Amino acid sequence: MLRYTVRRLGQLLIVTVVLSVLLFGWLRALPGGPVSALLGERATEESRARLVQQLGLDQPLYVQYWKFVQRAITGDFGVSTGVQPGTPAMEVFLQRMPATLELSVLALLLAVAVGIPLGYFAARRQGGWLDNLSITWSLIGVAVPVFFLAFLLKYVFAIEFGVLPASGRQAAGIDATHATGFFVLDGLLTTEWDAAWNALVHLLLPAVALSTIPFAVIFRLTRASVLDVVEEDYVRTARSKGLGAMVVRGRHILRNAMLPVVTTIGLQTGALLSGAVLTEQVFNIPGIGQALSLGFQRQDYAVLQVVILATAMVYVLVNLLVDLAYAAIDPRLRTR
């Protein structure tokens, strides 16, 4: 297992280097560039030339890239010029990251908690009403765009019936301590139960909207995987030996059926982070998705750099954990 982990960490390092090169080249190829973002379109040629020299943009690309890597390692991505003017870009990211992680984790938990059991029971009752209804619901979840579903949920439950909040992370009148930035966790740690409940209620609508696509993917893959595993010889052998139904289902069917599902759950992290851009805009959640949208609108290159690179790193790290979990479930992978 140690050798497998070291090999995966080496691959992670290579992926990180490639991502940094792509990000470095892409941001410098965008129209206007950082000089226009800092000085505006009406800046004089003298001021532009002076800023180009100050930023080192007149140096060879490999020198610029090396300085970019050095600053990135220390967390220095520059100062925000559009999202939160005057604030270090890394600070902008750290302030907004808890909101997105809180939303994404709840959305993933909903997708897993509903998708896996529903996929399993739908496979056991193939062709029944539960199977047909679940398949129809999963198709709707994939077909309906996240932003449309978010607007629909907001209109029905927040505006029309008023049973859930329409936007934000917490009610304005809640006096809560925010030590970690994760509002639900902060409320639980400080035993401020009203604050924790209020933050969780604010997360419900955006989390449901964000969870629809991961739910559909996890459900359909779980169903298909269970149907495949049930027909395997080792399942029939286990039943012929007189093993109990719970043992056969848990040890032989579910454990083997979960192998592709675990991988898919890790891959859905990227879908959640990308879907958060639209969801946070609809529900006015100050997360990194909203920061990314504002960064593009206002040409805030410093914030774009840290948000894109950090988000990619989170995605890569999650997939590393998924690989390790996959190896723990299936020991055969450790020798490959």
- Cα 59 from Cα 155, distance rounded (Å): 53
Prediction pTM value: 0.83
The predicted pLDDT at position 126 comes to: 83
* 70-85 per-position pLDDT tens digit: 888 888 888 888 888 8
**pLDDT less than 70: residues of the chain:** 1-2, 4, 30-43, 48, 51-52, 54-57, 250, 270-271, 274, 327, 329-336
Residues counted in the chain: 336
Domain edges within the chain: 2-73, 93-334
CB-based contact 225:257 (threshold 8 Å): yes
- Residue identified by tokens 């997105």 is 100
93-334 domain in CATH 1.10.630.10? no
- Cα 71 from Cα 91, distance rounded (Å): 14
How crowded is residue 200: how many other Cβ atoms within 10 Å of its Cβ?
17
Name which of 287, 289, 271, 298 is nearest 210 in CA terms. Answer: 271
Here the tokens at position 320 are 């590393």
